[in-house]
Amino acid sequence: MFRSAVKLITPWRLIMAAFLATGAVLVFFRFTRGLGSVTNLSDQTPWGMWVGFDILAGIGLAAGGFVMAAAVYVFNLKRYRPMVRMAILTALLGYIIFIVGLILEVGRPWNMWRVITNPNIHSPLYEVSLCVMAYTLVLILEFSQVFFEKFGWDRLMAVFHRLSVMLVILGALISTLHQSTLGTLFTIAPSKMHPLWYSPLLPVHFFLSCIAAGLGMVCFESFLSERFLKHPPRMDLLARIARFMAVMLTVYFIFRIGDLAVRGVIGLAFTAGFAALLFWLENLLFAIFPIIMVFRQRLNIGRTALFVVSFSVVLGFIMHRFNVAITSFHLVKDAGYFPSWMEFVVTACLISAGFIAAGLAVRFLPVHGGETAKSKN
Amino acid sequence: MAIKSSGLLIDITRCIGCGACSENCKKVNDLPPEIDDKLTAETWTVVREKDNDLHVRDLCRHCVEPACVASCLVAALTKTEHGPVVYDKSVCIGCRYCMVACPFQVPCFEWHSPNPRIRKCILCEPRVREGKSTGCAEACPTEATVFGDRETLVEMAKARIKADPKRYHDHIYGLDEVGGTAVMFLSPVPFEDLDFNTHLANYPLSDITWNILRQVPTIVAGGAVFLGASYWLFNRREKVKKAEQMVEPGPEKETDDV
């Protein structure tokens, strides 16, 4: 036990520990001196990096959980079974981090329970809150099978098996709702957002893009898992996932461009300037480059290529959410917001916590494989 | 009982920029006396001077169907029957979605408080409820800001434009913008020149979100049917494959899938 504890100290872990320590201090300041003491937010920029990254991007990247679960349990694509638990774990950790992030982000978190007692069904944010609560519960239940297996609770495992499909369908429905509703949030501000990002169809944009991004994250974390946990990636499965991801990216990209064309603002994408630059950089990273790379190589896509592609998708996706939540507002009325270093550190802190939790889960729980999977790890 | 919804008419041609409205607002709402140069948590109305020697008040517009009220997930912001849009800190979670939603960038936040509130003009709700005028209208020496019920104010504005069309740009800002606001403006020049948000539709912003949210039951029902049917279809195929001879001929649809 002790020797393994010593082995736990690695350079990466030291960096994460430093983030966590600094983050703890910042969280203290945030709760004693207000949000303004650690963030660069203002009355002109009420939502910044924490909303864009921790919440919008974080929730979107966790979409791999419901997509993979639906693929295996509903569409009976059994070959992906070895990857389901990891996808569900990522989603669960993503949502827990999101909830922690939310407690830091909102001004009066002690009132959060009011969502239950004072609902306003006309608010898209109410729907998001309700769905996030419900889906976190579903994810906990879905992930509970790992504990049942670990501790050999066969009876509970049997109950789980009987309920699994119901749970997965419920999870997919709730996810569809809140992933898209995160986009609906912004439809209320048409005059405040740049037309390259505002659309009355933002919920559809958010839904389509989260599926691709969730799968991108599944691929990306397989490589992280190899790098940090010495768990070899299942290239055969990843290549198929990447292909489906590329299909979804194509659907998204056509929808994105079509939407601009129908609304008659496509010209803005070809008007030299910062907005067009951001637009193309975002779409190059998120859609164009990954689509070309994956379709050119089909199922023979190599490890490095797949790593680069998935990283590009994740990055491009984060950029899209940032552009919707922050940049598009500033392109209309520049309020001079750039995240403070403290906002970066707290975000890094949340990501580190996620990594640590994922690492511990993989180490101590049968996350990889399990059930019918007899993988070579 | 017919309660008239109140509002303000602000006539920019009459405003001399004295700032008495801001001062009295501070007094009647118990706010610290320093007047900031833009709306803040402690300054609920300001008078900004435009280069063309015009003075423009900024304050909450108390929309007829406010985006902030629709966006607030815990209904901390509400539109009262008397007209004011008011705030209840006891339920607010501080998410600041109201600030994102407001087309006039009115709600402000106490960024340096550990117990922060959303702060904005409340159209002197306690006074208005008692039938009194707002602090700003009461203090205005030139009647550039007039308090009254909204319908009367609209008539007044129309009459002023009609009586002196040269003096006024022919538009009442707030009559139709985002479905109408309780605070309305008259101006000698187009509102664009005064940096007003002139990209607003004539329907409430909450119509957009509600038209999307209304679809939720349909999406849930459709999604449940789709996923349920997919499960049945994809898993049945396998069962059938496994025990082909045991299968009884089902309805036509099923045999198609086998």
User: For chain B, which residues make up each domain, given as ranges?
Assistant: 6-211, 215-257
Does the B6-211 domain belong in CATH 3.20.20.70?
no
CB contact under 8 A, B74 and A114: yes
Give the minimum alpha-carbon distance from B192 to chain A in angstroms, rounded to a whole number: 14
Does residue B123 contact residue B6 with C-beta atoms inside 8 Å?
yes
Chain A CB within 8 Å of residue B103 CB: yes
CB contact under 8 A, A74 and B227: yes
Separation of alpha carbons B69 and B16, rounded Å: 33
pLDDT in tens, B108-125: 999 999 999 999 999 999
In the block, residue with structure tokens 């339920």? B91
Compare all CA atoms of chain A with the CA of B233 and give the residue at the minimum distance: A75
Rg (CA), chain A: 21
Question: Which candidate from B71, B206, B208 shows the least CB-CB separation from A125?
Answer: B71
Compare all CA atoms of chain B with the CA of A111 and give the residue at the minimum distance: B93
The mean per-residue pLDDT over the stretch A218-233 comes to: 83
Phi then psi for residue A152, to 5 deg, are 65, 35
Separation of alpha carbons B172 and B10, rounded Å: 10
pLDDT of amino acid A375: 36
What interhelical angle do A202-229 and A303-322 show, nearest 10? Answer: 140
Give the minimum alpha-carbon distance from A128 to chain B in angstroms, rounded to a whole number: 9
Separation of alpha carbons B104 and B111, rounded Å: 19
pLDDT of amino acid B205: 96
Chains A–B, number of C-beta pairs less than 8 Å apart: 175
The mean per-residue pLDDT over the stretch A173-196 comes to: 95
Contacting residues for B131 by C-beta, under 8 A, at least 6 apart: none
Nearest alpha-carbon partner for A294 in A282, A278, A307: A307
Question: Which candidate from B74, B206, B224 shows the least CB-CB separation from A118?
Answer: B74
Three-state SS for B72?
Answer: coil
CB contact under 8 A, A111 and B205: no
149-178 in chain B: CB under 8 A from chain A: none
Q: How far is CA B51 from the centre of its chain?
A: 28
Separation of alpha carbons B121 and B117, rounded Å: 13
pLDDT in tens, B213-251: 999 999 999 999 999 999 998 888 777 777 775 555 545
Three-state SS for A257?
Answer: helix
Compare all CA atoms of chain A with the CA of B218 and give the residue at the minimum distance: A177
In one letter, which amino acid is B89?
K
ipTM computed for the complex: 0.90
Average pLDDT taken over every residue of chain A:
89
Sign of CA pseudo-dihedral B6, B11, B12, B17: negative
In one letter, which amino acid is A103?
I
Does residue B76 contact residue B118 with C-beta atoms inside 8 Å?
yes
CB contact under 8 A, B205 and A188: yes
Instruction: Give the other-Cβ count within 10 Å of B84's Cβ.
Output: 25
Report the relative pairing of strands B55-58 and B77-79 from DSSP bridges. unpaired
Q: Answer with the residue of higher pLDDT: A230 or B20.
A: B20
pLDDT of amino acid A298: 65
Share of chain A above pLDDT 70, in %: 95
Sign of CA pseudo-dihedral B234, B235, B241, B244: negative
pLDDT of amino acid A374: 37
All domains in chain A, ordered by first residue: 57-334+344-364 (1.20.1630)
CB contact under 8 A, B116 and A111: no
The mean per-residue pLDDT over the stretch A191-198 comes to: 95
Nearest alpha-carbon partner for A171 in A248, A71, A244: A71
pLDDT of amino acid A95: 92
Compare all CA atoms of chain A with the CA of B98 and give the residue at the minimum distance: A46
Q: What are the Cα distances from residue B72, in Å, to A120, A203, B37, B95?
A: 7, 19, 27, 9
The mean per-residue pLDDT over the stretch A147-172 comes to: 87
Compare all CA atoms of chain A with the CA of B235 and give the residue at the minimum distance: A76
pLDDT in tens, A7-21: 667 787 788 888 889
CB contact under 8 A, B92 and A111: yes
Instruction: Give the other-Cβ count within 10 Å of A44's Cβ.
Output: 16
Q: How far is CA A177 from the centre of its chain?
A: 15
Q: What are the Cα distances from residue A373, in Å, to A79, A92, A293, A299, B57?
A: 9, 21, 30, 22, 69
Q: What is the DSSP letter of B41?
A: T
Separation of alpha carbons A347 and A364, rounded Å: 26
Q: For A263-366, where are the alpha helices, taking DSSP H only?
A: 274-283, 289-297, 303-322, 328-332, 341-364
In one letter, which amino acid is A55?
I
Chain A CB within 8 Å of residue B218 CB: no
